[in-house]
Amino acid sequence: MPIRQDSPAVPSDKELKDRLYARDLENRLIITPLLMPEIHGGGIDIRLGTKFITGKRTGYTSFNPLRVDAEQALSMQRRSQIAFGGMFVLHPDQLALASSLEYICLPHDLAASVVTRSTFGRAGLLGATAVFVHPGFRGCLTLELLNLGEVPIELCPGMRIAQLVFLVHGGTDEPRPGKYSMATEPEFPKFWEDSDREVLRRIHGLPTRPSEEAG
């Protein structure tokens, strides 16, 4: 059932459970697979998926968001997939992009923030940013993981690594698909799809198309 307009900004655990099993598809919150769901404090725990992206050394002297294109971005990343029962090792000061195990579909009146579980935070594992998930989002989430500890951390697919904290969205506008919608694996940042990139390239005296640059 729809969440009441006079309900608090964070929905109750009962309201979330009602959404997960709602018959009305327009109002249903879809999280699949939903393995032993942990619902508490207006949030639902999500698990680590099997796909990862880490950086690798290249011949580029620097990373410039105004210059990078899809081909350059591909050369800067190393993709890996870890089977269930395997381990992904995140070294100190290393950043990795990982996918959530779950595919998520938010209804038009729910938004969410992704926060790292405090249990992992106390071990030195942090989400690099607090990811905001817009109403109407469809796809697997990209989790930005950073090891701030002194020793490597072993992570295995299926771990409850983060939590979705839900917020009631009172707007009536139809959500527009974002550039990371419908993803089924972690996504490298797509700077070349930013709406203001062409204007910024002109301000900095760069061709409006990165492919036009010399060299």
**DSSP structure string for 46-109:** EEEEEEEEEE---S-S---TTT--HHHHHHTEEEEE--TT--EEE-TT-EEEEEEEEEEE--TT
Catalytic residue (choose from 26, 38, 71, 144): 144
Output DSSP code: residue 198. Answer: H
Which pair of structure tokens corresponds to residue 161? 């690594």
Residue 132 region, left (φ>0) first, then alpha (ψ -120 to 50), else beta?
beta
Asked about 144 being catalytic, the answer comes back as yes
Q: How many CB atoms lie within 10 A of CB 164?
A: 25
Beta carbons within 8 Å of 209's beta carbon, 6+ residues apart? none
CA-closest candidate to residue 53, choices 74, 79, 91, 83 = 79
Q: 171 burial class (0-12, 13-18, 19+ CB within 10 angstroms)? A: exposed
Q: What share of the chain is helix, strand, coil (3-state, %, to 5)?
A: 15, 35, 50
Provide the annotated active-site residues.
Answer: 144
